[in-house]
Amino acid sequence: MTNILSTLLSYVLIYKYYSIFIITFLGAIALPLPSGSVVMAAAAFSIQGYLNFYLVVLVGIAGNMAGDSAGYWLVRLYGMEAVSKVGLKKFFPLEKLHAAREQIEKHRLLTIYFSRFMTAIAPAVNIVCGFTELPYREFLLFEALGEFTEVSFFAVMGYIFGSNWEYFNQVSDKFWMVVVAGVLFSLVLWRYILRKKAKA
Amino acid sequence: MENQEKKFKLKRVFQWILLILLAIILIFAVWEMAKDFGRLRQFGPQRPIRFGRRWFPPQNTSAAPSTAEIRSWMTFRYINTVFKLPQDYLKNSLAIDNAHYPNLSIDALGKEQKKTSAATLAGVVSSVQKYISDRGPASPAENQSGFVAPGSSQSGPAPQ
């Protein structure tokens, strides 16, 4: 278990729902916090009666939604200057934002919904939605659906596996490693094959 | 022309090296995931699940909590709740002077007492085990907490 997760879990045990809200809020805004693992652990704590399972889910969803909305409105109200003031401008160059806008407009539900499961991409999608002024109601609906699914999934896994949630967490971490390594491997292989075909 | 050919060959060699490295990482990641999945199946869920029973047979959910599950990030309030300890038992047995008790983690206590995390954790575990052995076996109703029984084959080492 990482030091960050251990520290966050101590805060959850001390400050309970307040800390779950803050951790999920900060994770949704852009900080690389393991909010899914925190929700899973909190649901496991609820088995002992230390926390209430339904409140954990509710607070987890609320924190994520608040963070998503904060990212959206920050850019929508103050533009990319707000992003550059917090030091994120280099991650969101204008030409890429316009390209992302087309992608989002083609597949709004899918892009916003599925990005909730990818903690690295979700904040970027929030910023793009704010920058492109996607109607807030639409954004809220799709991201609420996504957050409900994501938080419920982690909470249910924590509740089911109880004190063995750490093993499930390890499997989940390794799964993403397999996915990333697999995608990179496929991309490099595909480029190599294309080059070979072009040469032939 | 020769320079361009050399550059092209270097690029190909680099691509092959990258492919081999990625393949090794992928194989390693799949192997590790399979091991973790096997462990997860072995220790299993602690709540009965309707689907996937073949993959995850439910474990004994009425077993007593296990001290092997205590981790250094846990707070004393949490440990008191899980093991049903009197509020000040660990405070007295470990000579804890901190005003934040029981909202204090084992790690934080270790730093305050200038001990390693492992030593503080061992002290806490041994105090809890002493209380449990002095109290005697708890009733099944008291054990409804979903923890694995101490000393059972189902309690495993701390995951890395």
- Same-domain status, B80 and B24: no
Residue B19 lies in a domain: yes
Q: How far apart are the first and last CA of chain A?
A: 49
Check CB contact under 8 Å for A161 and B46: yes
Interface test with A, best of B14, B77, B78 (most A CBs within 10 A): B78
Give the residue-averaged pLDDT of B41-64: 56
Task: Record the tokens describing residue B126, joined without a space.
Answer: 């041994």
Q: Is the pLDDT of residue A184 over 60?
A: yes
- More confident site: B91 or A132: B91
Q: Does A18 touch chain B (CB under 8 A)?
A: no
Q: CA B134 to CA B121: how far, in whole Å?
A: 20
Q: CA B124 to CA B71: how far, in whole Å?
A: 10
Q: Does A2 touch chain B (CB under 8 A)?
A: no
Check CB contact under 8 Å for A192 and B15: yes
Give the residue-averaged pLDDT of A147-167: 86
Q: Are A147 and A65 in contact (CB under 8 A)?
A: yes
Task: Give the lowest-confidence range in A43-47, A51-55, B19-23, B151-155.
Answer: B151-155
**For chain A, what percent of residues have pLDDT higher than 70?**
88
Axis-axis angle for helices A17-29, A53-78 (nearest 10): 40
- Same-domain status, B39 and B74: no
- Same-domain status, B74 and B33: no
Residue A171 lies in a domain: no
Residue B76 lies in a domain: yes
Q: What is the pLDDT of residues B22-35, one digit of tens each?
A: 888 888 888 888 88
How confident is the model at residue B52, as a pLDDT?
52
Interface test with A, best of B5, B36, B60 (most A CBs within 10 A): B36
Our measurement of the distance from residue A101's CA atom to the centroid of its chain's CA atoms, rounded to an integer in Å, reads 19
Provide the number of structural domains found in chain B.
2
Check CB contact under 8 Å for B145 and A47: yes
Q: State whether ipTM is beyond 0.85.
A: no
Residue A167 is nearest to which of B22, B26, B159, comparing CB atoms?
A: B159
Q: Are A44 and A158 in contact (CB under 8 A)?
A: yes
Residue A88 lies in a domain: yes
Q: Where are the alpha helices (DSSP H) in chain A?
A: 3-15, 17-29, 35-47, 53-78, 80-85, 94-106, 108-115, 122-131, 136-161, 165-199
Residue A72 lies in a domain: yes
Q: Does A50 touch chain B (CB under 8 A)?
A: yes
Q: Is the pLDDT of residue A137 over 70?
A: yes
Q: Does B149 touch chain A (CB under 8 A)?
A: no
Residue A140 confidence class, pLDDT cut points 50, 70, 90: very high
Residue B113 lies in a domain: yes
Chain B contact set for A50 (CB, 8 A): 78, 81-82
Q: What type of residue is B53?
A: R
Q: CA A124 to CA B70: how far, in whole Å?
A: 38
Residue A192 lies in a domain: no
Q: Does A54 touch chain B (CB under 8 A)?
A: no
Residue B160 confidence class, pLDDT cut points 50, 70, 90: very low
Residue A178 is nearest to which of B29, B145, B148, comparing CB atoms?
A: B29
Residue A178 lies in a domain: no
Chain A contact set for B77 (CB, 8 A): 13-14
Nearby residues of A200 by Cβ (< 8 Å), 6 or more positions away: none
Q: Using alpha carbons only, give the angle B79, B83, B86 rounded to the nearest 5 degrees.
A: 85
Q: Using alpha carbons only, give the angle A160, A163, A165 rounded to the nearest 5 degrees.
A: 65
Cα torsion through A48, A53, A56, A59, rounded to 10: -150
- More confident site: A135 or A188: A135
Residue A108 confidence class, pLDDT cut points 50, 70, 90: confident
Residue A131 confidence class, pLDDT cut points 50, 70, 90: confident
Rounded CA Rg of chain A: 19
Q: Is the pLDDT of residue B158 over 60?
A: no
How confident is the model at residue A61, as a pLDDT?
96
Residue A172 lies in a domain: no
Q: Does B62 touch chain A (CB under 8 A)?
A: no
How confident is the model at residue B39, as a pLDDT?
74
Provide the number of structural domains found in chain A.
1
Residue B81 is nearest to which of A48, A163, A192, comparing CB atoms?
A: A48
Chain A contact set for B33 (CB, 8 A): 171, 174-175, 177-178
Residue A98 lies in a domain: yes
Give the residue-averaged pLDDT of A149-170: 84
SS3 content of chain B, % helix, strand, coil (to 5): 50, 0, 45
How confident is the model at residue B149, as a pLDDT?
33
Give the residue-averaged pLDDT of A160-176: 78
Among chain A residues, CA nearest to B149: A163
Give the residue-averaged pLDDT of A174-193: 81
Check CB contact under 8 Å for A174 and B33: yes
Residue B146 lies in a domain: no
Containing structural domain, residue A74: 3-165
CB atoms within 10 A of CB B61: 17
Residue A145 lies in a domain: yes
Containing structural domain, residue B96: 67-135
- In order of A29, A76, A88, A114, the CA distances from A100 in angstroms are 18, 16, 16, 15
